[in-house]
Each structure stands twice: as C-alpha cells, then as structure tokens.
Amino acid sequence: MMNQASTTEAGIGQNAKFYDELDIGMTWESPRRTISEADIVMFSALTGDHNPIHTDEEFAKTTVFGGRILHGPAIFAIATGLESRLGIKEGTAIAFLGMTWDMRGPVKIGDTIHVKEAVVSKRETKKPTNGIVNFNVQVVNQRGDVVQEGEWKVMMHRNVSIA
C-alpha cells in the first residue's frame, strides 16, 4: 500500500479510497449545509433561470410549495460539493461517468441538507488500473426527508500495490 507521504505527494487525499478499498455496503454522511437566499440568487444569475418559483416570493406563495424553492439542479450541484468534502474520491476518482437522479421534494431557504452515500456495486474494467463504482446518493433535509436521490457512476483508480 502507498505510504502517507507518497499518497500526499501524488495528490491523494488523506481520506481517499481506491477502488480496491471500497466494499459494497460502505456508507458515509457529509457535513450539513443550510440553504440561503444567496444560493437562489447566484444560481439564477449563473444559469439565467429566473423562473418566479425561485425568484418571486409573492408568486411562489400561491404555488403548492407555499414559497420560493431552490432550483433542483442547484441542489444536485451542492450535493456534489458536500460529497466532495468527505474526501473519499480526492485524487482517486478518474471520471464521473453518469447518473440517474430523481427529485423527490422541494428545498427552501432555511432548509439544511446533507448527503448520504453508499457503495452499491462495483466492477473491474479492461484496464487493470481502473474500476467502476456505483454509489447510491441521497440528499436529506433537516426533517430526514430524502429530497433528491440517485446513483452516481464513477471510474476510480485501483491501488495496484494492493490489488
């Protein structure tokens, strides 16, 4: 196995896991993050999506949500950041290959979300230095409701010294 000095020099995070170190059923939970007005404003500005469900409180009060909600894709983007804080793929992920993703409920200003992640499957590739891991990822709010979830497919480096 690579020692701490060699992994740090190679850009591998201290919590990083190689393909070979990931077992089906392993789970993690990310730190939490509270959604703010700034999240809606910045995402609207970045994308040009100024739909009144996000930007007009008076309009949004008349909807099924009863107020403004954060853009669904913004929640996914925040989830990637929360998940990255775990460090399990820092320097060991090669590529994000795809996903399935479902939006289950709204996220409003003041909601606090975090990510739950689990290894659900993995397979070797033709290249002995790579493997593909499927992670079940859930975005959970402060009430324990799953607001978004899906599966992320990631190509990971193998640690050839332990394979």
DSSP string, 93-112: EEEEEEEEEEE-S---TT-E
- The answer to whether residue 61 sits within a structural domain is yes
Q: Are 52 and 59 in contact (CB under 8 A)?
A: yes
Domain membership of residue 130 as a residue range: 19-157
Domain count, the chain: 1
- The answer to whether residue 81 sits within a structural domain is yes
CATH number of the domain at 108, please. 3.10.129.10
Strand ranges in 22-145 using DSSP code E only, listed in sequence order: 27-29, 33-34, 93-103, 112-124, 130-140
- The answer to whether residue 100 sits within a structural domain is yes
| Alpha carbon distance 6, 113 (integer Å) | 35
| pLDDT band at residue 160 using 50, 70 and 90 as cut-offs | confident
- The answer to whether residue 133 sits within a structural domain is yes
Query: Does the reported pTM lie above 0.85?
Result: yes
| Alpha carbon distance 138, 27 (integer Å) | 11
pLDDT for 94-146, tens place per residue? Answer: 999 999 999 999 999 999 999 999 999 999 999 999 999 999 999 999 999 99
